[in-house]
Copies of this chain bind each other. A is one copy, B any other.
């Protein structure tokens, strides 16, 4: 990985700030922070241990605290807000986008929430109620109400004069939305169309009537897939009766895409989606220990299975030495399949029509790799322990377990999905249990049969 220019810049800032903080030069830190863009301050906070973070936050100018909060990742933001006074939270949320406002308010404990809302002015309070009325992880929760709407029966010239009067366009505006008198969405007029056509043309002749709008209740992952497939920059959000409610912009979609992609990575290791690398030790330990507890149960289960073969192990201690190999290979092969299938489901590539193909394919790969590695392990063990029957036994167990790994890796996420359980979260623990138990049974069972 080449060292990045920009990262070096942030790194220098971070070193400067850390140095100044450590030597108590708070004025210096305040000066550096005042010169830093909100997005860079957010990165600085995210890259700081939680104690430094608390100190730093106090030195951020209250006027830009709202901007910085908007840029922070969820977990870090909540950590900071938990320590802020209600009035300050209310002040910081004043200029926030609706979706960020909703997210912040949703995260507050009930008592704090009431204090924050009662510190708001009437307009903000209404905005807050509105933002909270949409379901989490839905298009509504991603939406902002800052649309620019026009009528279909006016000329481009009228639109141009209206925009000049308006004086400003919301960030990320690439389309104006065309609505009828009931505020129903009937099409989009791209700014590029507005700019490249004669001013006397009418909106209705030029607007894009095929531009899809997004239902308010659509799941955010699906909204992101639409944006990604159609290369949208923004899209209109409508209610069931096609009334225009707001719009979603690509910057929020980028967050959804990143979160969804990271979800599988973090869940498969038993971590929270928004796990903060610099959270306090106790908080992190507690979160992770649940996963360790579940794993201990499966490890005990595997030990329990092995205990059926204690007599065999007593006669042939060499089996104890080799007993880890087959489950380990099954675990790796299974998690390869599992990872691919979980990703295929997340991308919308795997569905009813091709499930059977996937199962067949992974079974075939399991058989092929099983053949290859069982021959190899047979050779290694036969030569190492000078025991050809032992070589044949471990080869058979390896083959069976790689087959089982292929079937389990492909079917477990599909079954979990049908049961409405998140495959990324539960998949690997179920898989390891299968490959461990099949591996131990196949190896120690066959050995008991042939070698004792």
Q: Does A325 contact B (CB under 8 A)?
A: yes
Q: Does A299 contact B (CB under 8 A)?
A: yes
Q: How large is the interface on A (under 10, 10 to 19, 20 to 34, 35 or more residues)?
A: 35 or more
User: Is the CB–CB distance between B164 and A377 below 8 Å?
Assistant: no
Copies of this polypeptide in the complex: 2
User: Is the CB–CB distance between B192 and A195 below 8 Å?
Assistant: no
Alpha-carbon separation in the docked complex, A6 to B352 (Å): 15
Chain B residues whose CB sits within 8 angstroms of the CB of A218 once the complex forms = 4-6
Q: Does A113 contact B (CB under 8 A)?
A: no
Chain B residues whose CB sits within 8 angstroms of the CB of A333 once the complex forms = 288, 292
Q: Does A27 contact B (CB under 8 A)?
A: no
Q: A5-B215, A313-B321 given. 12 additional CB < 8 A pairs?
A: A6-B225, A7-B348, A172-B174, A173-B192, A191-B191, A261-B261, A270-B332, A271-B336, A300-B325, A302-B324, A302-B328, A323-B324
| 26 sampled A-B residue pairs with Cβ under 8 A | A1-B219, A1-B422, A6-B226, A11-B352, A37-B230, A43-B349, A171-B231, A172-B231, A194-B195, A228-B258, A266-B339, A269-B340, A270-B332, A271-B336, A277-B358, A278-B349, A278-B358, A285-B365, A288-B369, A289-B372, A289-B373, A295-B329, A303-B322, A313-B317, A313-B321, A323-B323
Q: A: which residues have CB within 8 A of B? A: 1-2, 4-7, 10-11, 14-15, 18, 37, 39-40, 42-43, 46-49, 71, 160, 163-164, 166-169, 171-174, 191-192, 194-198, 215, 218-219, 221-222, 225-231, 233, 250-251, 253-254, 257-258, 261-262, 264-266, 268-271, 275, 277-278, 281-282, 284-285, 288-289, 291-293, 295-296, 298-300, 302-303, 306-307, 310-311, 313-314, 317-325, 327-329, 332-333, 335-336, 338-341, 343-344, 347-354, 357-358, 361, 364-365, 368-369, 372-373, 376-377, 380, 417, 420, 422, 436
